[in-house]
Structures are given as structure tokens and as C-alpha cells.
Amino acid sequence: MDKILEIKKECLNEGFPIIADEAAEVLSLCLKLKQPKSVLEIGTAIGYSAGIILHSCNCFLTTVEIKESSYIRAKENLIKLGFVDRTKLICADAKDYLVNLTDRFDFIFLDGPKGQYNNYLPYLSDALNGGGVLFCDNTKYHGIVDGTVIPERRDRTIMNNMREFTKELKQNQKLKVYEFKVSDGIIVAVKN
């Protein structure tokens, strides 16, 4: 766990967005309870949350990162953690990856670009096995989505897209949705 904390420190020092401590605890708890065999992560950054996922359960992780420099560092970090043999790292735009996805997963951790969550939803819903879990981080997006904070002009599209995502998620007949007011908002959806 010390090596995972070193990656966290790197992220904080270099300004990489990472999962908040409270949300990481909830994620880890969900993984320990579910014990998924296959996990998909959207938004690798340099591998901090991937380390948490792989430390929390004995799964095989497929993780997608668009930025090549982050992808390279994530691979280096997962080698340091000893998890690279349980990981498939993909350097691609998640949207492009999801369109052609044929694999199925027991657990999906969604922590990519917030404005794209709704575009990903149909693919993510289809990619979940029955009983699978979709764990969505930052669903309040700094209080903008729930109206606690008035958005700046540049954040209005993200706000609207995240609100639409939440609405679509709740209306999806294939999913049972739970919202948690932890950290920056978490939604956990379980596939029927």
C-alpha cells in the first residue's frame, strides 16, 4: 500500500486529478464485497486508482487512458506495484474504445471526462455482466451538478451532461441505481 501512496503523492504534486480519499474507501469496499474477476476503468491517469482497484480484489483490470504520457507512467507505476501482469492498459479515447468493445466486465469504474459520461452510458451498460457494478465518481462535479455551486460559463455543458447522465442512469431499466453523497458524489448502479 505504501507504493500506492507514493503514486498518490506524485499525482497531488503534479496536479493530476485523483479519486478523493472518501471515494477511494467506498470504491475499495465495493470491490472487496463484490470480488469481481474483470474490471474496466475509464480514466487511468498515472495509475493511482488502478493500484487501489488491483489491491482491493484479485481481478484482471482493463484500463483506458487517452494521454500517452500518462499511459506510459501508469504502466511504469503498475510494474512497480507488481500488478502489470493483471492489467491491460489501453492508450485511446474511451469513446473510440467503447464503440468497439466486445468484452464484458463484473465491475466498471468510471472516472474519465465528466462531460462524456452520458455518451459512454449505453456502451457501459451493455459491457456489464448481470449483477455487475458501475461505479461513477465525481457525479456532483464540485457542487455544480446538484446546484450547490453556480457554474461558470465553461462548466455549464458539463453540468447539463452530468444531469442528463444521472437522469438516463435512473431511467435505465437494466440498472438499479444508488446515489451516495460522499466526497464529490458517487453513483453505484447494479445491472439486473
Rounded distance, CA 74 to CA 79, Å? 9
pLDDT for 41 equals 98
Q: Residue count of the chain, please give it.
A: 192
Q: What are phi and psi of 184, to 5 degrees?
A: -100, 25
Our count of domains for the chain comes to: 1
| Crossing angle between the packed helical segments 2-14 and 68-81, to the nearest 10 degrees | 160
pLDDT at 1 over 80: no
| Residues in CB range of 13: below 8 A, 6 or more apart | none
Q: Per-residue pLDDT tens for 158-185?
A: 889 999 999 999 999 999 999 998 889 9
What 3-state class would DSSP assign to 150? coil
Tens digit of each residue's pLDDT (9 = 90 or more) over 62-121: 999 999 999 999 999 999 999 999 999 999 999 999 999 999 999 999 999 998 999 999
Mean per-residue pLDDT for 121-141? 95
* Residue 60, H or E segment: strand 60-65
Task: Give the CATH number of the domain where residue 113 resides.
Answer: 3.40.50.150
- Kindly give, in sequence order, each residue whose CB lies less than 8 Å from that of residue 71, ignoring residues fewer than 6 positions away: 44, 65, 89, 91
Q: Which domain holds residue 41?
A: 2-191
Contact 5, 33 (CB under 8 A): no
Given a contact cutoff of 8 angstroms between Cβ atoms, the answer to whether 86 and 136 are in contact is: no
DSSP 116: G
CA distances from 107 to 11, 82, 103, 149, 158 (A): 24, 21, 12, 31, 24
Handedness of CA 131, 128, 161, 68 (dihedral sign): positive
Q: Identify the band that residue 147 occupies on the pLDDT scale cut at 50, 70 and 90.
A: confident
Work out the percent of the chain whose per-residue pLDDT is above 70: 100
